[in-house]
Structure 1
Amino acid sequence: MRAVGRLARHEARLYVSLGLWLTRRTQGTAGGRAFGYARGLGATLLGLAFVCVVETVGVSVLLRDMPIAHDVLLVLDVYTVLFVVGLYAACVVRPHVLTPDAVRVRYGAHVDLRIPLSAIGAVRRETRMTHPPAEDALDLAVGSQTSLTLELTEPVTHVTPLGRRRDVTVVRLHADDPGGLVRALMRR
């Protein structure tokens, strides 16, 4: 039952993100410098939303003589379109944030990992397209690509959307400006 509650909170964050995106605001960036990562997601997710809209129109035409099925699928299709646009909006309004004492590594409404700067042993710009699974690594790829690797001197606990905890010592992430993020981290 806790898992259902956690998923509901994540879904609610998507819709809050949609509102923030429409008003061109960000979340959780006060007191820090934001580094976006959603540039590579825009075309894919908004293209998927367009396909969902086309599918909605097609299903509406096919089911015009079955009003109950038409109405049920229309509600589900509108929900799907809002969900997909909310996924993109969450990535735009929740960028990575560098504060004086930590870096918040985020991925939409699903990941918000605070890493103390004192726990970062090495940072490097490293473009990777493949990410073999590793128990102690967290890979936050955008378009199957990461552009930055953080090696930690001590484990940081990552909590998944369903509440599973695991300690990570390597974090790979994507940033629209990986060089700028590396320089900012090196200065701190």
Structure 2
Amino acid sequence: MSGVRAVCAAVRARVPVPVRRLLRHELRAAASLGRWALRRPPHGVGAGELPAAYTGPQTAMMYGLVFVALVETVALSVLVPWPAVHRVVLVLDVYGVLLMLAMHAACVTRPHVVRRDGSLRIRYGALFDLVVPPEAVASVRVDRRYPQGRLVALSEDGVLDLIVGGQTTVTVELTRPLAFTRPLGARGEARTIRFHADDPRALVAAVRQPAPP
């Protein structure tokens, strides 16, 4: 065990945090791909808790990218005459397709969750995970917006946007600033959280009136 701890300490000392987090995200996404293929229950959803999907706006785009990647793979297999180059390109293309599918599978199998105690777990696949305790929720409402920016965007006034397919549909006002971790490890604090749910009304209703114990 001491040897394992030494190796882990060496890795933490030498490998930058963003690289370690990317590797961890990919491993979790790969596990999600297996869960999705085997039709296992969603990750982190207990009995009596509400899972809330958020993949609707991105599903068509994701499958479109996979199709384009497959067409590119077939085309390059015909156009590239050098066997060694062809094998390298094939491996990279197959890896890219599997990675895209794994990222989508992570989103499907890791939905938002409204827990029985009224807390809200906001996620985006294996990249983002934030638990909002019930006492931190000042208000929650259906609020469709089309913000600009990356997946996780934090404004100067503390508004955190978790954008899916260019939109958010739920706004949560907080009673206090809430710390969160960005996908690559940077930290931030949010006073308002806006995110997407495919059925925002069901999620908002569940947060406002948690299931009885």
Q: Same fold (TM over 0.5)?
A: yes
Find the aligned partners of 1:46 and 1:179 in 2 and give their Cα distance. Answer: 27
Quick check: 1:40–1:143 contact (8 Å CA) kept in 2?
yes
Provide the TM-score with structure 1 as the length reference.
Answer: 0.95
Between 1:33-42 and 1:88-97, the stretch displaced more is 33-42
* 2:108 counterpart residue number: 92
- The number of aligned residues is 187
Is 1:21 matched with 2:42? Answer: no
* Alignment deviations for residues 10-61 of structure 1 (CA, whole Å, 9 cap, x no partner): 1111111111111122111124211111122211101100100000001111
Runs of 5+ consecutive residues of structure 2 not aligned to the other structure: 1-15
Quote the RMSD (CA, aligned, Å): 1.3
Query: Residue type of the partner of 1:164?
Result: A
Query: Residue type of the partner of 1:134?
Result: S
* Alignment deviations for residues 129-154 of structure 1 (CA, whole Å, 9 cap, x no partner): 12475131221122101111001011
Instruction: Give the CA deviation at 1:157.
Output: 1.1
Find the aligned partners of 2:18 and 2:167 in 1 and give their Cα distance. Answer: 29
**Correspondence list, 1:114-153, <5 A:** 114-131=131-148, 134-135=155-156, 136-153=158-175
Is 1:35 matched with 2:57? Answer: no
Quick check: 1:131–1:139 contact (8 Å CA) kept in 2?
no
Find the aligned partners of 2:148 and 2:172 in 1 and give their Cα distance. Answer: 14
Query: Residue type of the partner of 2:96?
Result: T
Find the aligned partners of 1:24 and 1:155 in 2 and give their Cα distance. Answer: 37
Find the aligned partners of 1:50 and 1:20 in 2 and give their Cα distance. Answer: 22
Q: Which runs of 4+ in 1 moved over 2 A?
A: 130-133
* Alignment deviations for residues 71-123 of structure 1 (CA, whole Å, 9 cap, x no partner): 00000000000011111111100000011231100011111100001101011
Identity %: 45
* 1:186 counterpart residue number: 208
* 2:71 counterpart residue number: 54
* 1:83 counterpart residue number: 99
Find the aligned partners of 2:196 and 2:62 in 1 and give their Cα distance. Answer: 17
* SS at structure 1 position matched to 2:155: coil
* 2:18 counterpart residue number: 3
Q: Which has the larger radius of gyration?
A: 2
Instruction: Give the CA deviation at 1:187.
Output: 1.1
